[in-house]
Amino acid sequence: MAAEVINGKEIVRSIREEIKQEVEELSARGTTPGLVVIIVGDDQASHVYVNNKEKACAQVGIQSHVHRLPADTTQEELVKLIHEYNRNPEFHGILVQSPLPGHINEEQVVDEITPEKDVDCFHPVNVGNLMIGKEGMLPCTPAGVMEVLKKIGVSPAGKHAVVVGRSNIVGKPMAMLLLREHATVTICHSRTPNLQDITRQADILVPAVGKAGVIEDRHVKPGAVVIDVGMNRNAEGKLCGDVDFDAVKEIAGYITPVPGCVGPMTITMLLKNTLSSARRASNTGTEAGV
């Protein structure tokens, strides 16, 4: 029996409608959430991503501003700009779009964003809070995966979840969020021998390696929930995930399409983090980072 293809567009629509209502309520009390996206250079894919974020902000009523800088911007100039936005009460979220030009140290730049405005959840303070289970910002893509599981009524509690990939952006925080929800979690990666022997044990399988078609039907337990985080292009130039969708959908219980689910969910969680930051600033009577 073929898997149920998760309707990512409907999940995104419903969550963004909730965010829009909360933004309207917060704005009526005098605080309109604001997000600034800083982009350095002319990477075309980055500009597409930034435009999508800008449109999403407009959709839910979040004030957004894209600050475009030339490719020869120095690290010192970028850090100075970040400090200005740290102090700016109109913006509750700061995002520096990756990749940055090679002469800029991305890790050091991220560290300059005040944790309260780090809506990507890349700052070491926010990463540490995630590790110890403290409330705060959540990384957007893993948080989006958890929302998808919630929306389809799948609780990770007591299930075996396998994450394929160990990046700081997705793999590691994904494992932490699943563990927080009482799953038994295994992380696989490029050095894992006999990958299929482990992935076939998964009740919830989250591939996040960035390699088209790396997960085939032989890797999947019948009836498993497969949430594909990968975003690649196949030989024909079409967008695809890490999962061989046509083969795996005949085995899995649930499966996400690529594109159309985790990608827009990631942007949706960025909106949610910005709203949360604005709400915290409003509740304390001060602006985040000031």
Query: Which positions are catalytic?
Result: 53, 97, 120
Q: How many CB atoms lie within 10 A of CB 150?
A: 14
Q: Which amino acid type is present at position 284? A: T
State the Cα–Cα distance between residues 249 and 223, nearest whole angstrom: 10
Q: How many CB atoms lie within 10 A of CB 17?
A: 12
Structure tokens at 31: 């605080």
Q: Which is it for the CA torsion 206, 8, 216, 220, positive or negative?
A: positive
Quote the distance between the C-alpha of residue 74 and its chain's center. 27
State the Cα–Cα distance between residues 80 and 107, nearest whole angstrom: 15
> In this structure, are residues 161 and 204 in contact, taking their beta carbons and an 8 Å threshold?
yes
| Number of residues that make up the chain | 290
Burial letters for 205-232: b for 16+ Cβ neighbours within 10 Å, e otherwise?
bbbbbeebbbbebebbbeebbbbbbbbb
> What crossing angle do the helices spanning 171-180 and 124-132 adopt, rounded to 10°?
30
State the Cα–Cα distance between residues 121 and 127, nearest whole angstrom: 7
> What crossing angle do the helices spanning 262-284 and 8-28 adopt, rounded to 10°?
20
Helices (H), the chain: 8-28, 44-60, 75-87, 106-111, 124-132, 140-151, 171-180, 195-199, 245-248, 262-284
